[in-house]
Amino acid sequence: MKKQQLLLLLLFVFSAQLLFAQENEERDNTPKYVNDFLSIGVGARAMAMGNVGVASVSDITAGYWNPAGLLDIEADLQLAGLHANRFANINKYDYGALGKAIDSTSAIGFSVIRSGVDDIPNTLELVDADGNFNYDRISLFSAVDYAFVASYARKLNKIPGLRLGVNAKVIYRSVGDFASAWGFGLDAGLMYDVKKWQFGLMARDVSTTFNAWDFTLSPEEQAVLIATGNEIPENSLEITLPRFILGAARQWDIKEQLSLLAEVNLDVTTDGQRNTLISANPISVDPRIGLEAGYKNTIFLRGGTSFQRFGGIEGEESIVPQPSFGVGLRIRQLYLDYALTIAGDDSSSNGGALNSNVFSLKLNIFKQGK
């Protein structure tokens, strides 16, 4: 690696470390898993490969995995969409995106993510003024999270193989009419190709993402919460600390019709000890591995896994793989992908594993005459 390339990488990492130093005093009081719906992933291809993609992503889903990968979009316009019923249909997860190249050295993209639990019963008014249960007073509400992400990527011609990208994201979260929050944050990513190897680094929430919550409970609703021993929530500021995802990938061409892609990612969080394979405070590391076998660049088989740490009733701990599998089909400029993801532990003491089915589409659009 050339000196200027190494210097650029060191500056990229060092800038984030400066942010860590400023936030170190607040880290112990910062809740984990803030805006964690943005850690689910997008695109059934990557989700079937164990949620890897920081190094090898080459389509519009790069707006999520690593915006530097937007430069590999070959179509004049690329569209993508995803729908998933997660955790036994409890959670509805949707994603839509579009992107295109501006010129030979830059590209843009726009993504929308929605994660929600709908039709939640509101029982705050179940008991009327006379102390009677009136089930007609039960209403339904939704707890929904949205993310709107604008992405930009640029190639540095002076450093061959190096691409940079940035995301600006706006977050909106709501819990019925009771509470809502607006947030804003920045992500940054880079990709570097060396011969047949691809390397990637994604710094999520590198700016530190802030959510400002506003609660609008009526006096009657507050009275019910007090009477049932609950606290009255107050307007507050929620902070998402930075996380880094490092990746390395390589593809092997087997004869002329078969190919094999392998990628390894290290998801490094900075908000305290988590139930990951490498668990420490304040840094935890979640390693992931994914494989994709392709035939004639038309049919694909995929698999991958991450690892989760589970505690038993008697205090013992175990490391359980969280596997995923999937298939893909390309029909000219249309890509159809499916993924089956498995979360949790099969043992009854932990509630059993939950499966999620993920379907996604991707479409390339070219101008007439191409």
**Which CATH number covers residue 22?**
2.40.160.40
What are the residues whose beta carbons fall under 8 Å from the beta carbon of 10, sequence distance 6 or more?
Answer: none
Tens digits of residue pLDDT in 272-287:
888 888 888 889 999 9
Q: Is position 63 within any domain?
A: yes
CA-to-CA dists, residue 210 to 10, 206, 242, 359, angstroms? 26, 11, 11, 31
Q: Is position 370 within any domain?
A: no
| Average pLDDT rounded to a whole number, residues 202-225 | 84
Tens digits of residue pLDDT in 141-154:
889 999 999 999 99
Distance CA 308, CA 35 (A): 19
Q: Is position 278 within any domain?
A: yes
Q: Is position 53 within any domain?
A: yes
Looking at the DSSP assignment, which residues form a beta bridge with residue 293?
Answer: 260, 301
* pTM of the predicted model as reported, rounded to 2 decimal places: 0.83
Question: Does pLDDT of 251 surpass 50?
Answer: yes
Range of the domain at 21: 3-365
pLDDT (0 to 100) of residue 34: 82
First to last CA, the chain: 38
The sign of the dihedral angle between the CA atoms of 247, 253, 254, 259 is positive
Question: Does pLDDT of 229 surpass 50?
Answer: yes
The sign of the dihedral angle between the CA atoms of 125, 127, 130, 135 is positive
Q: Is position 231 within any domain?
A: yes
Tens digits of residue pLDDT in 252-274:
998 889 999 999 999 999 888 88
Q: Is position 77 within any domain?
A: yes
Number of domains within the chain: 1
pLDDT (0 to 100) of residue 292: 98
Question: Does pLDDT of 343 surpass 60?
Answer: yes
Question: Does pLDDT of 25 surpass 70?
Answer: no
The sign of the dihedral angle between the CA atoms of 96, 37, 266, 328 is negative
pLDDT (0 to 100) of residue 137: 76
Question: Does pLDDT of 42 surpass 90?
Answer: yes
Q: Is position 327 within any domain?
A: yes
pLDDT (0 to 100) of residue 97: 97
